[in-house]
Amino acid sequence: MKGLIVVDMQKDFCYPEGALYGGDRVYGVIKPLVRFIDAFRTSGDEVIYTMDWHREDDVEFKIWPSHCIEHSEGAEIVEELKPEKNDFVVKKRKYTAFFGTDLDMFLREKNIEEIYLAGVLANICVLHTAADAVLRGYNVTVVKDCIEALSDYDLEYALRHMENILKCEIVESEEILKK
């Protein structure tokens, strides 16, 4: 069984009015993701969403401006990618979607060993989630055109790290959909 993890495609990161909007390049991930998520649902594989989910006094706001406050509109998944009834949604406080969440339990219950990773930001929550997944023994494929960062540099180093150090497969969504 395969699982697609869609990382933090939330209004605060993806919409221009969001608290930590990542710009056109982040907004641009929505379109290829719509198609990719659709294909996953059609094939009966699991679609998992992560949501950055903070209290107003979260320690992370010593590093970043306030964002994704629990139950706020900015914390919602973008309208284009709304989770469906059977999708699994993980609320997280840290960069990795595994820490302090039941993601690992869910994946094991569903016998998911192959993880596809997409979303934002490539060098922060995607990278940390990839590392955590690899260390736990999952096979991780990163969907190259469905991740983004705030700059070419950040995207490049995230991809290099995931490919060379974590030994993730880096593949375009088109290639995966052809299979």
In which region does residue 167 sit, left (phi positive, over 0), alpha (psi from -120 to 50) or beta (all else)? left
On the question of a cis peptide bond just before residue 121, with omega within 30 degrees of 0, the verdict is yes
148 counts as binding Zn ion under rule CB under 5 A? no
Q: How far is the CB of 107 from Zn ion (least distance, A)?
A: 22
Q: How far is the CB of 12 from Zn ion (least distance, A)?
A: 9
Distance separating alpha carbons of residues 37 and 98, to the nearest angstrom = 21
| CB nearer Zn ion, residue 91 or residue 161 | 91
| CB nearer Zn ion, residue 60 or residue 145 | 60
12 counts as binding Zn ion under rule CB under 5 A? no
Q: How far is the CB of 11 from Zn ion (least distance, A)?
A: 13
Q: How far is the CB of 20 from Zn ion (least distance, A)?
A: 8
- Residues 37-76, one symbol each (x = binds Zn ion by CB under 5 A, - = not), give ---------------x-------x----------------
Beta carbons within 8 Å of 178's beta carbon, 6+ residues apart: none
Distance separating alpha carbons of residues 56 and 34, to the nearest angstrom = 31
Q: Which residues pair with 51 in a beta bridge?
A: 91
- State the residues that interact with Zn ion by CB under 5 A: 52, 60
